[in-house]
Homo-oligomer: A and B are copies of this chain.
Amino acid sequence: MVISVDAMGSDHGPSAIVDGIAKSADKNPDISFIVHGPKDELTRLITRRSDLADRCEIRDMPGVVSMDDKPSQVIRGAQGTSMLSAVDSVRAGEASVAVSCGNTGALMALSMIRLRKLPGVNRPAIACLWPSRNPQGFNVMLDCGADIRADAPDLLQYALMGAAYARNGLGVERPRIGLLNVGTEEHKGRAELRHAHEMILDAQETGNFDYVGFVEGGDLPSDKVDVIVTDGFTGNVALKTGEGTAKLVGAFLKDAFGNSIMSKFAALLAITSLKRLQKRIDPRRVNGGVFLGLNGMVVKSHGSADATGVSAAIKLAFRLAQSGFQDRLAERVARAAASVEETRPAPDEERT
């Protein structure tokens, strides 16, 4: 299994990314890497790690896509950048999946241009994992920010793609899907949501999922649902709000345990449990937004990801590639598109 990694774009520089690659390489002997970035620096970083050089092929790419570049600027100036090269390795079939910490908008724009949308997909989406009370430990939410708009047919496609992700990525046989809204009553929310509600309801059987109806923000980490469908604006705000809240509670927890000698002593006693808790809510461990709806897999890692975060994104990429997710997703979307064709009356029938 070959994974293509963009070595630039992390807030911590390429060393954090090479550290993440090394971490993943240590844990999983079945992965090798194509690493894209400035050759001299990468060679230095990679040869410092024993055995890593044998498993990494370096593609010398001096250009970097900056976090401030607009997607339109990126597209014009993409030639020679590590990001474009990382995506092109998937396009060329050299790697099963690409991982990048760079600018989300730029990565999506380049991925759409180079990999193209799957037949039948209008807007690709970014799917993220959300720690939850479900047995699988995570829920899927999409779109987390690929596109700030989504019409009812887009939301239906997100439901189909999210169901495929939950099946292949999380092993949920028949995923339960919810549509994010400001209330669970059927009359609530914007018109496109009420329309999408009907469409997703009708697609349950062909899509092999259960539709639970509208869900609210509080249901994102719940066990009522496995996949949450929403537009990319709302999804992005919800994702960052959840992360921000978890961080705040973590900081408050630290305050609480630093508060007195007694509580410091207690923290020492509880250190194993606290570490387990930290692991459960650590956003770095659920790092990795998966681009869905393209002819090829791309995983977006946080720009602020450190070695642990990068390694989590690589692990996710590996798991998805190994499950054959991409082919199944393509098949599912094609079948759904065909079934819409079938149920659509032929021009003749329409006229009668």
User: Interface residues, chain A, CB within 8 Å of chain B?
Assistant: 68, 70, 105, 131-133, 145, 148-149, 180, 182-183, 185, 187, 189-190, 216-222, 230, 232-234, 236-253, 255-257, 259-260, 262-263, 265-270, 272-274, 276-277, 280-281
Contacts and interface: CB of A to CB of B under 8 A. Distances in A.
Contacts of A274: 256
A131 B248 contact: yes
A262 B350 CA distance: 72
Contact of A247 (B131, B218, B256): B218
B189 A148 contact: yes
B252 A262 contact: no
A222 B237 CA distance: 14
A256 B276 contact: yes
A187 B70 contact: yes
A272 B259 CA distance: 10
Question: How many copies of the chain does the oligomer comprise?
Answer: 2
Contact of A263 (B221, B253, B270): B270
A331 B259 CA distance: 44
20 contacts: A68-B185, A105-B183, A132-B248, A148-B189, A217-B242, A219-B244, A220-B244, A221-B248, A233-B234, A237-B238, A241-B241, A241-B245, A242-B242, A245-B249, A249-B250, A253-B253, A256-B276, A260-B272, A260-B273, A269-B269
Contact of A232 (B148, B182, B277): B182
Contact of A238 (B187, B238, B252, B270): B238
Contact of A269 (B189, B238, B248, B262): B262
A277 B256 contact: yes
A85 to B, nearest CB: 24
Closest 8 CB pairs of A and B: A217-B240, A266-B270, A217-B241, A218-B244, A266-B269, A256-B273, A263-B273, A256-B277
